[in-house]
A and B are shown apart, each in its own frame.
Chain A
């Protein structure tokens, strides 16, 4: 599929690269986002990269739609960056127990042990495909095929904030308490969204990579205290 434009009303345009979940497509989306941002066009309010497309929100009374369309198709030709350039994160997670009430069920449904599930999730080098659904909510992929499970038949009305959850090929962390139908494997003490950091409120960005590190309850509590008292900051979650 060649990159093409879709009308999202009169105040937004979507540059679509494809209709699949695919790391190469996503890398092209992010490259186009970077190329368009570098053009500094007046009248654009938001550039929203998704799995497979880039949505541009703009004021059509300030920025001519035809001119923007041409620039977007130019930006679509930008070469995708090598993934080595993205930020690599290592996020501590306490698996199972109250923090991960679905771990046992996931192990049972996949015919593996709980330790196998934890090992597989921690061994996965996950790409941040997009941030959406809730402020700071990262869609991560892709998990090994044997871990792909449909969503829960009955979604929970309240998934606790900081839960690590999986569904299909995807993993995510809920930065906020919210309804949700994914399987809860654990919790991280790391804050994924910080409104006081106006320059970069979301910890993760599309194109970053994430690996999880299993910690026990004691270490989880120790890290949570260190975060609460400011002894731990964002730099502590970078891949060593």
Chain B
């Protein structure tokens, strides 16, 4: 059992989402960055799509009632405080075994989003095949809503391979943190490309767009040049998907993300390719985005490359050498200046 001591910003449980229900208006949902979800899970010995906690900007403080193994995927500045009040940093991209009573202070997040995985996953009900939170319809997660202060979350029984850390006490770690590329997002021309002038298409590919404050798991509204339609901005609604870029009447594009609706009534100028969707999920307000058109063949090749790169990243997870075992060093009190008397 984990007690949520405080949760200052919304955080949601996410897995691979709810494929198979979009014809009923149920969004796909699921992790914004499924690759980092898979890495976080691999670090604690879980199958790749096990439910984890997805956080943005700031993570909660959690107290564990029994010993568990956790891992953080993302650029956090987390600390672990034990029952005697001693505190040590919880490095990212590696597993940590917490003792009963330990406080995990996840803190600020420098990457757009990040994940907390626990060995065995979180014990949450399956709703339409997924534990992902979709708060607009109260599906998944804890009672269909974001995590909040005072929640109690059960840890599930391990289902996958025994965790390296769980089985042996040796932490698992990723030798190198994955990079979030800043190259332009690759797109395929959208189903309603012909609803836009050629000038608008060239502007779309040539200009810089800034993520506005209207940014959540449903989508990102972008500021930049207004994209002109050839004949109005309303179409009879048709299917949309995460990565689709809708342009309403005001000419400001909206990039759809995991929680997007299943159908939409605005023309779609382009669609971000599957291989680049995970990094879209990290975009924060103020960030600059650019787009580049690729062919369908290039998009498929990028998907294959992304899949093999992820497999290689997960295969590289191993036990660090003794000199890198920071937990052991810190807990043995060998390094000055890391003891937090509070």
Partner pick for A10 among B19, B23, B192, B296, CB 8 A cutoff: B296
* B20 interface residue per 8 A CB criterion: yes
* Additional 12 contacts, C-beta under 8 A, given A19-B235, A55-B238, A132-B263: A6-B191, A7-B296, A9-B241, A12-B239, A45-B20, A50-B238, A50-B263, A52-B236, A54-B239, A65-B296, A135-B24, A201-B21
Q: Are A53 and B138 in contact (CB under 8 A)?
A: no
* B271 interface residue per 8 A CB criterion: yes
Q: Can you list 11 A-B pairs with a CB-CB distance of less than 8 A?
A: A9-B188, A9-B271, A10-B303, A45-B19, A54-B239, A60-B303, A130-B237, A135-B24, A137-B25, A195-B128, A201-B21
Q: Are B22 and A9 in contact (CB under 8 A)?
A: no
Q: Are A48 and B22 in contact (CB under 8 A)?
A: yes
Q: Which residues of A contact B300 (CB under 8 A)?
A: 10, 60-61, 65
Q: Which residues of A contact B139 (CB under 8 A)?
A: 135, 195
A-contact bits for B1-33, CB 8 A (1 contact / 0 none): 000000000000000000111111111100000
Q: Which residues of B contact A52 (CB under 8 A)?
A: 236, 238
* A219 interface residue per 8 A CB criterion: no
Chain B: interface size category: 35 or more
**What is the CA–CA distance of A33 and B239 in the complex, to the nearest angstrom?**
13
**What is the CA–CA distance of A227 and B238 in the complex, to the nearest angstrom?**
34
A-contact bits for B33-51, CB 8 A (1 contact / 0 none): 0000000000000000000
Q: How many residues of A are counted as interface, with CB atoms below 8 angstroms from the partner's CB atoms?
A: 45
* B320 interface residue per 8 A CB criterion: no
* A237 interface residue per 8 A CB criterion: no
* B311 interface residue per 8 A CB criterion: no
Q: Which residues of A contact B236 (CB under 8 A)?
A: 19-21, 50-52
Find the residue from A9, A12, A19 having the highest chain B CB count within 10 A. Answer: A9
Q: Are B25 and A135 in contact (CB under 8 A)?
A: yes
Identify the B interface with A (CB < 8 A).
19-28, 127-129, 136-139, 188-192, 235-241, 243-244, 261-263, 268, 271-274, 296, 299-300, 303-304, 307
Find the residue from B26, B136, B190, B243 having the highest chain A CB count within 10 A. Answer: B26
Q: Are A131 and B23 in contact (CB under 8 A)?
A: yes
Q: Which residues of A contact B239 (CB under 8 A)?
A: 8, 12, 14, 48, 50, 53-55
**What is the CA–CA distance of A237 and B235 in the complex, to the nearest angstrom?**
33
Task: Check A46/B23 contact, CB under 8 A, given A9-B271, A9-B273, A65-B296.
Answer: yes
* A102 interface residue per 8 A CB criterion: no
* A87 interface residue per 8 A CB criterion: no
Task: Check A8/B240 contact, CB under 8 A, given A61-B304, A195-B127.
Answer: yes
Task: Check A133/B238 contact, CB under 8 A, given A45-B19, A60-B300.
Answer: no
Q: Which residue of B lies closest to A138 (CB)?
A: B25
Q: Are A7 and B26 in contact (CB under 8 A)?
A: no
Q: Are A46 and B22 in contact (CB under 8 A)?
A: yes
Q: Which residues of B contact A47 (CB under 8 A)?
A: 23
Nearest-neighbour CB distance to chain A for B218, whole angstroms, equals 12
Q: Which residue of A lies closest to B134 (CB)?
A: A135
Q: Are B263 and A130 in contact (CB under 8 A)?
A: yes
Nearest-neighbour CB distance to chain A for B190, whole angstroms, equals 8
* A16 interface residue per 8 A CB criterion: yes
**What is the CA–CA distance of A193 and B136 in the complex, to the nearest angstrom?**
13
Q: Which residues of B contact A130 (CB under 8 A)?
A: 237, 263
**What is the CA–CA distance of A57 and B191 in the complex, to the nearest angstrom?**
14
The list of the 3 closest CB pairs from A to B, nearest first, reads A55-B239, A9-B271, A6-B191
Partner pick for A134 among B28, B137, B190, CB 8 A cutoff: B137
Q: Which residues of B contact A136 (CB under 8 A)?
A: 24-25
Q: Are A12 and B307 in contact (CB under 8 A)?
A: no
Nearest-neighbour CB distance to chain A for B147, whole angstroms, equals 20
* A153 interface residue per 8 A CB criterion: no
B-contact bits for A1-45, CB 8 A (1 contact / 0 none): 000001111111010100111000000000001000000000001
**What is the CA–CA distance of A193 and B24 in the complex, to the nearest angstrom?**
9
Q: Which residue of A lies closest to B295 (CB)?
A: A10
Task: Check A7/B23 contact, CB under 8 A, given A14-B239, A134-B136.
Answer: no
Q: Which residue of A lies closest to B186 (CB)?
A: A10
* A186 interface residue per 8 A CB criterion: no
**What is the CA–CA distance of A44 and B243 in the complex, to the nearest angstrom?**
18
